[in-house]
């Protein structure tokens, strides 16, 4: 049995999306010969609300060690938990590596600044490390940020720090190869490095957890279609055309009177809100947006109780739409609009869950996409197409499969480096 130290500053009861990456992979690594210890920051230092229910999704096999962090302070100059907890995480990690044998360090990002720990701990102890890209660090999803804006400055800092952080890494992993392909190109042209792409995946046990007495966000008798998750700036085109299509369908009397679209946990974002876009297009009475985040298990229960699940992707081809898994596993029909090259398109096809899939091609005009969305939404409202997804086809994308991929790479690296 080998030992893996995962350093990630958030952990349940944190409700941030990134928590699920180390949780899902960590839950299954023991099956493949790797015992996990997670080094994280104590939840007293988290700024976001806690979600006690999410702790039910963590297996007891995972050892969790918590450290302190600097206070946020007033005014709020540094909020990033990776920066506030950096010194505490480093000191505890050094002590752990001196006390016990660990065969590998694995550091998912963001928080991006914890990536710097990998190299520093490696240089101090010789333990190999890997960095896992939940999101791209350099450039991210937005390349056109305003000059000298906070986002622009953060990206300039990323360009300075990433080469240092990855310089001595033995592994680069990520939820999609597109997320870290630039890292390999920029930093590993002269030195080979192991890499592995593995999706977030899913744990079927999460979807079996039912919260008794949980109130739904919609009144009884509502035919609710639900989108759950953060709203991306590069989804605006899809949402606008979608609401235009709904307005035309309503004008022809093709929408059920009780139909409502719920956008839950969309979070903070710039520009017009989803609710505003709906009102401008005359379908504001059909659309409800609740921007506050919901606890993870609440979301899974809402999806299962809905009459349909919506996936609104991005005009970026590399957006993987990790929410695709929870949508298909909800047991409800799924309507989706995705870039034709998104990995989520292939996933829906393999699972025979593409009956209501609308694909976006950058080369086509908006009129063609708008017509396709209108036809797809009309079909989704009528529910005339069969819905019998082949859930067994999702197994290659499961958290267990991702854990197997990671374990195989870790075995390869540690075997090569063994004396």
Domain boundaries, the chain: 2-203+398-417, 206-394
Q: What is the average per-residue pLDDT within 290-313?
A: 95
Q: What is the Cα–Cα distance from 376 to 358, expressed in whole angstroms?
A: 7
In angstroms, what CA-CA distances link 407 with 91, 97, 103, 254?
A: 27, 20, 12, 51
pLDDT above 60 (res 284): yes
Q: What is the average per-residue pLDDT within 136-156?
A: 70
Instruction: Place 309 in a pLDDT band, splitting at 50, 70 and 90.
Output: very high
pLDDT above 50 (res 95): yes
Q: 160 φ, ψ to 5°?
A: -80, -40
Predicted TM-score (pTM) of this structure: 0.84
pLDDT above 60 (res 145): no
CB 405 within 8 A of CB 196: yes
Lowest mean pLDDT, pick from 169-183, 227-241, 306-320: 306-320
The fold adopted by the segment(s) 2-203+398-417 is Rossmann fold (3.40.50)
Q: What is the Cα–Cα distance from 191 to 273, expressed in whole angstroms?
A: 46
Name the token pair of 301: 């229960």
Computed over every residue of the chain, the mean pLDDT equals: 92
pLDDT tens digits for 217-268?
A: 999 999 999 999 989 888 999 999 999 999 999 999 999 999 999 999 999 9
Q: 263 φ, ψ to 5°?
A: -105, 110
Q: Which residues contact residue 231 at a Cβ distance below 8 angstroms, ignoring those fewer than 6 apart?
A: 239, 263, 266, 267, 269, 274, 312
Computed on alpha carbons and rounded to an integer, the radius of gyration of the chain in Å comes to 22
Q: Which residues contact residue 31 at a Cβ distance below 8 angstroms, ignoring those fewer than 6 apart?
A: 400, 403, 404
Order of all β-strands in the sheet with 334-339: 287-290, 259-264, 223-228, 308-312, 334-339, 356-360
Give the pLDDT confidence score for residue 146 in this predicted structure: 65
H or E element in which residue 237 lies = helix 236-251
Q: What is the Cα–Cα distance from 119 to 130, expressed in whole angstroms?
A: 9
Q: What is the Cα–Cα distance from 182 to 139, expressed in whole angstroms?
A: 10
Give the pLDDT confidence score for residue 179 in this predicted structure: 87
Instruction: Place 141 in a pLDDT band, splitting at 50, 70 and 90.
Output: very low
Q: What is the average per-residue pLDDT within 290-300?
A: 94
Give the pLDDT confidence score for residue 147 in this predicted structure: 67
CATH topology agreement for domains 2-203+398-417 and 206-394 = yes
Give the pLDDT confidence score for residue 9 in this predicted structure: 97
Other C-beta atoms closer than 10 Å to the C-beta of 82 total 24
Give the pLDDT confidence score for residue 199 in this predicted structure: 87
pLDDT above 70 (res 105): yes
Tell me which CATH code domain 206-394 carries: 3.40.50.2000
Work out the burial of residue 96: count CB atoms within 10 Å of its CB; fewer than 13 is exposed, 13-18 middle, 19 or more buried.
middle
pLDDT tens digits for 327-386?
A: 999 999 999 999 998 888 998 999 999 999 999 998 888 899 999 999 999 999 998 888
Give the pLDDT confidence score for residue 120 in this predicted structure: 97
pLDDT tens digits for 15-66?
A: 888 999 999 999 999 999 999 999 999 999 999 889 999 999 999 999 999 9
pLDDT above 70 (res 298): yes
């Amino acid at each position: 049995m080998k030992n893996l130290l995962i350093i990630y500053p958030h952990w349940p009861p944190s409700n941030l999306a990134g928590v699920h990456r180390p949780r899902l992979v960590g839950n299954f690594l023991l099956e493949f010969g790797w015992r996990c210890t997670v080094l994280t920051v104590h939840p007293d230092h988290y700024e976001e609300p806690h979600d006690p229910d999410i702790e039910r999704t963590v297996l007891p096999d995972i050892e969790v060690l918590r450290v302190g962090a600097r206070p946020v302070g007033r005014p709020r100059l540094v909020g990033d938990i990776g920066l506030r907890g950096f010194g505490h995480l480093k000191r505890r990690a050094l002590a752990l590596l001196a006390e016990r044998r660990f065969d590998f360090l694995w550091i998912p990002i963001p928080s991006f600044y914890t990536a710097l720990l990998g190299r520093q701990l490696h240089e101090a102890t010789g333990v190999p490390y890997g960095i896992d890209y939940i999101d791209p660090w350099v450039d991210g999803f937005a390349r056109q940020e305003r000059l000298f804006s906070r986002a622009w400055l953060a990206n300039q800092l990323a360009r300075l720090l990433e080469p240092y952080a990855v310089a001595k890494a033995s592994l680069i992993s990520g939820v999609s190869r597109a997320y870290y392909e630039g890292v390999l190109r920029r930093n590993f042209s002269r030195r080979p490095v192991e890499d592995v792409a593995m999706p977030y995946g899913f744990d079927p046990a999460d979807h079996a957890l039912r919260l008794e007495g949980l109130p739904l966000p919609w009144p009884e008798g509502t035919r609710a279609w639900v989108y759950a998750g953060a709203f991306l700036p590069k989804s605006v085109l899809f949402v606008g055309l979608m609401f235009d299509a709904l307005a035309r369908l309503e004008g022809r009397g093709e929408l059920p009177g009780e139909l409502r679209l719920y956008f839950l946990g969309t979070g903070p974002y710039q520009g017009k809100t989803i609710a505003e876009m709906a009102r401008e297009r005359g379908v504001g009475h059909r659309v409800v947006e609740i921007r506050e985040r919901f606890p993870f298990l609440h979301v899974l229960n809402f999806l299962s109780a809905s009459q349909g699940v919506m996936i609104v992707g991005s005009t970026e081809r590399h957006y993987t739409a990790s929410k695709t898994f929870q949508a298909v596993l909800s047991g409800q029909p799924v309507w989706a609009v995705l870039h034709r090259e998104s990995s989520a398109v292939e996933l829906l096809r393999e699972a025979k869950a593409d009956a209501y899939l609308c694909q976006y091609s950058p080369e086509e005009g908006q009129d063609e996409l708008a017509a396709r969305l209108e036809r797809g939404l009309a079909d989704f409202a009528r529910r005339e197409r069969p819905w019998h997804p082949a859930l067994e086809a999702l197994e290659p994308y499961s958290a267990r499969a991702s854990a197997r991929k990671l374990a195989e790479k870790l075995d390869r690296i540690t075997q090569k480096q063994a004396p």
